[in-house]
Structure 1
Amino acid sequence: MSEIVFYTNPMSRGRIARWMLEETGAPYRAEIVPFGPPMKTAVYCAINPMGKVPSIVHRQKIVTECAAICAYLADAFPEAELAPATTDRADYYRWMFFAAGPLEAAVSNRALGFVVPEDRRRMIGYGSFDDVMATLEKAVSRTAYIAGERFTAADVYVGSHIGWGLQFGSIEKRPAFVDYLGRVSERPAYRRAVELDDAAMAAMQKSA
């Protein structure tokens, strides 16, 4: 009953959840869900009505959305020390959900070729792409990790976004981003997660 069932695809945001699972050290079973019709079946949509991955099922409870999965797992497995004390979570929540909201929206819209007209910036949460990049740069430059001097689940989430952005060119290659990613990607759990997802991706391609 305590095993986590992890629904994912190695070519998706499921890589964020995989990293977080590896950080907790908790037992889990990965179920690879191919894109297309398998992800839209009635069986899987009963777990995630969006027909998207990742999702986790733990103790008969379902959690979707990567930021929520990271926050949930940090609380469900406090022995892993992936969340600050409840009295010291301001930066932890602030930057995790900044990445889930303004950062992801700004990066996605830019990749799609959508630029917010200057006179409409107040209508959208992130304002402008340049504002988001400047804010993120300051956030990762203040302390060793995004919420202070200790690694937390917020670093899994923010670090994943920065890693993908630098890899695919959707986030500017600023020294502060490169340095921050270097710190968080040194973690053994990150390396294990990458190896597991790369192996799963190779297996999918071989069976295709």
Structure 2
Amino acid sequence: MKEILDAIQSPDTTSADFAALPLPESYRAVTVHKDETEMFSGLTTREKDPRKSLHLDDVPLPELGPGEALVAVMASSVNYNSVWTSIFEPVSTFSFLERYGRLSPLAKRHDLPYHIIGSDLAGVVLRTGPGVNSWKPGDEVVAHCLSVELESPDGHDDTMMDPEQRIWGFETNFGGLAEVALVKSNQLMPKPGHLSWEEAAA
């Protein structure tokens, strides 16, 4: 990750340079674990302590699929759904990941014994999958949290009406509280140049 960070911080790094950077086999991420979903059973909401459920793990880099991008995360932020995920309330997010995993072989990647959380990021595109034309390695971006499949006409006028609409990092895996995140390319927007990484991520 140091080589990637050095490239981001250098003003001379080109898109071709970013595309040539070797990707790590694994990276650090904030996770919750599937085998701990009952750890707060019997406690009130106020008694549930995210410091006990959140882990900093080394996780494998996910496979990049069509219409997706891998982004080096420069800043993220805590969203209310990150708190819900960490206390397994009102439901465990693993039920979302299991359901998503049944959608297709590619979606099966999300159904894991750990959940990388976080629905906000500002960072730099490292790789794009087949069919991505609007973004390239080295682009500075912000990701919004709406993940849609856009296969149903219901979502074509209003993506909130898509029957396969999900909140990235909450109902999907590989979220923004990590060194690298996996997003759909249609989640990306240009990072405003006048904002810091932290401001853009919030």
What's the TM-score, normalizing by structure 2?
Answer: 0.26
Q: Which has the higher contact order (CA 8 A, sep 6+)?
A: 2
More helix by share: 1
